[in-house]
Amino acid sequence: MTYSTILYDVEDGILTLTLNRPESLNAYNREMQAEMLDAFDRADADDDVRAIIVTGAGRAFCAGADLASGGNTFNADGRRDRESGLNPDGGGVLTLRIHELKKPIIAAINGAAVGVGVTMTLAMDIRLAADVAKFGFVFARRGIVPEACSSYFLPRVVGISQALEWCYSGRVFPADEALAGRLVRSLHEKDDLLPAARAIAQDIRQNTSAISVTLIRQMMWRMLGADHPMEAHKIDSRGVYHTGKSADAKEGVESFLEKRPAEFPGKVSKDMPDFFPWWEEPKFS
């Protein structure tokens, strides 16, 4: 499939998804949203994709929402193609899809990440940045509020105090502040950014069970909302029971004892435990 606003490239089991509107600093619009959603569906259905890297073409990662509509950019009632009244925000539709992913996802933030350009990364598992990148939760300076489920994700990533400071001020801040605030894992020279992200993805691809990684991803994220550790104990116990009798567990132990690389046979498309998924997705209303 050919996309207009993103590039989709799979190499050695790693999907690199590149936001590809460099002439507009990869500004986010509804076409990009639709294409990213399709790309994530496609990646989830492909057992050959073991990890996803998201980056940007040109000098920006994503400069935020496309402001071509001027003052009505955020006014759903003022746009002819939308019904009046409450509608799901586009960034939230995207981050909820990322939240549901069966594959680990890494953000390689190569340049400016502002507005939805940064909030879309909060549902991703690991964020690396170029040392020239800049970040901004600029919503209060545009007369709106944070979107893309960031009131859920951002405090969990950086803590409530840091999240509020960045969102109250709406200022754009440099990469070293993002690192100090634990928004990103590490900083890299721009040419070294993608190789660093690929090294993480390759370690996952070469050394782990795809089924284990899928379960771990959902267990970790979903337990952030649990009201007692007993909920984690329940799902951990189910996971250990079902994976413990799998072909992947047998291969994992035998390869370790035989001092050889593991070749895990399990496929996410057909070998997930019967209890997966164990949650019911809430509805927007």
The answer to whether the CB of 149 falls within 8 A of the CB of 120 is no
- Joined tokens for residue 79: 């746009």
Does the structure show a pLDDT above 70 at 84?
A: no
- Rounded Cα gap, residues 145 and 151, in angstroms: 9
For the stretch 191-222, pLDDT in tens is 999 999 999 999 999 999 999 999 999 999 99
Residue 255, classified by CB atoms within 10 Å of its CB into exposed (0-12), middle (13-18) or buried (19+), is: middle
- Rounded Cα gap, residues 279 and 155, in angstroms: 23
- Rounded Cα gap, residues 139 and 137, in angstroms: 6
Does the structure show a pLDDT above 80 at 183?
A: yes
Q: What is the mean pLDDT of residues 112-125?
A: 98
Map tokens 């070294």 to a residue.
Answer: 192
The answer to whether the CB of 151 falls within 8 A of the CB of 123 is no
Report the pLDDT value the prediction gives residue 9, as an integer from 0 to 100.
98
Report the pLDDT value the prediction gives residue 77, as an integer from 0 to 100.
56
Does the structure show a pLDDT above 70 at 76?
A: no
Helix locations, the chain, DSSP H = 30-44, 90-99, 116-119, 150-158, 160-169, 175-180, 190-207, 210-223, 229-244, 247-257
Domains, in order of start, for the chain: 6-204 (3.90.226.10), 209-285 (1.10.12.10)
- Rounded Cα gap, residues 234 and 230, in angstroms: 6
Report the pLDDT value the prediction gives residue 87, as an integer from 0 to 100.
82
pLDDT band at 248 (very low <50, low <70, confident <90, very high): very high
Q: What is the mean pLDDT of the chain?
A: 94
| Global confidence as pTM | 0.94
- Rounded Cα gap, residues 41 and 16, in angstroms: 14
Does the structure show a pLDDT above 60 at 58?
A: yes
User: Closest Cα partner for 127 from 173, 66, 61, 63?
Assistant: 61
Residue 263 CA from chain centroid, whole number: 27
- Rounded Cα gap, residues 129 and 122, in angstroms: 13
For the stretch 134-143, pLDDT in tens is 999 999 999 9
Report the pLDDT value the prediction gives residue 39, as an integer from 0 to 100.
98
pLDDT band at 285 (very low <50, low <70, confident <90, very high): confident
Report the pLDDT value the prediction gives residue 75, as an integer from 0 to 100.
54
